[in-house]
Amino acid sequence: MNKRLFIVLLFCLISNLNLAHSQTRDRLTLSGESLMSSPVSRQSDIQWIERFFLDEEGNGLLGVGLQSRILSIDTRSPLYIVSPQFTWLQSLNQDYSFVINLRPGLYGDLRGNLSDDFRLEGVFFVDRILSGGWTLGLGAARGSNFGRVLTVPVLHAVYVGESSLLDALLPVKAEYWIMNSEHFEYGAIFSLVGSQYRIEDLTNTADTLQFANGLIGPSARMKIQDKFYIQLDALFTVLRRYEVGLAENLAIQNTQAGPNLRLTMQLRY
């Protein structure tokens, strides 16, 4: 694989880091998820990203995009994420590259002062290309996939085989795909979906809602036409956090596990 193609592949793998169901090679992603046994009944995501080479040699790549998420809750107003995304991938030499991903955005019900909903999340790591199709990297991320804003170390791992692909950014997500056909792919995924939201409550009994959902299960993806794909994930919750209240005194309200069904439509490059 030449250097330019590898940079494109690596960028595609990391360009959707904030989405737990991050897809490879996608320009536009629309997804809807139904959650069973949860106060959060539905989650919908839209993500768009464009990529631009920074030089003729293909050593640098810039991604600019936008993510929008709607969280439907049985007993509350919907919650939103509206976040521009900026990703810079730069090859340092034949063995090393680095990635910076920044996501300034609004995280909340968007009903009060929007400056209170603003937060910056992101990730940085350095990769090393190894033999045998492996790439490994270490770095740090500031995000809220655990349901609260944390800064955590991350391990990035990519394996590209003849008909298989492993893509992991631990502890947030891991995907393994078998690609024996141009029209059909299948595999297994683990993803940690979550965020911390600011909420307006007229009773002044709550200003923060934290939600996280750790999922694992099989997935299948089918090519419908040209660059258009549909993906179906049948997932089971292995970890769930749902807390609401004042920031200094949050109360756990529901941690019951249950099945999830997610349908995703993808427009690829």
* pLDDT tens digits, 232-244: 999 999 888 888 8
Measured CA to CA, the distance from residue 137 to residue 10 in angstroms comes to 12
Lowest mean pLDDT among 37-41, 188-192, 251-255: 251-255
Average of per-residue pLDDT across 142-152: 94
| Domains of the chain from N-terminus onward | 3-268 (2.40.160.40)
Confidence of residue 263 (pLDDT cuts 50, 70, 90): very high
- The predicted-structure confidence for 186-234, as pLDDT tens digits, reads as follows 999 999 999 999 998 766 667 899 999 999 999 999 999 888 999 999 9
Confidence of residue 11 (pLDDT cuts 50, 70, 90): low
**Do 36 and 259 contact (CB within 8 A), yes or no?**
yes
Number of H helices, E strands in the chain: 2, 15
DSSP 17-71: TTSTT--SSEEEEEEEEEESSSSEEEEEEEEEEEEEESSTTS-EEEEEEEEEEEE
- What does the block give as tokens for 71? 């969280």
**Do 28 and 244 contact (CB within 8 A), yes or no?**
no
**Do 33 and 261 contact (CB within 8 A), yes or no?**
yes
Average of per-residue pLDDT across 122-146: 95
Confidence of residue 9 (pLDDT cuts 50, 70, 90): low
Residue 67 has pLDDT above 70, yes or no: yes
Please give the torsion angle defined by the CA atoms of residues 238, 244, 246 and 247, in that order, rounded to the nearest 10 degrees. Answer: 30
- For the chain, percent of residues with pLDDT exceeding 70: 86
The overall longest dimension of the chain from CA atoms, in Å, is 60
Judged by DSSP in three states, 254 sits in coil
DSSP 97-129: EEEEEEEEEEEE-SSS-HHHHEEEEEEEEEEEE
Please give the residue that has the higher pLDDT: either 58 or 46: 46
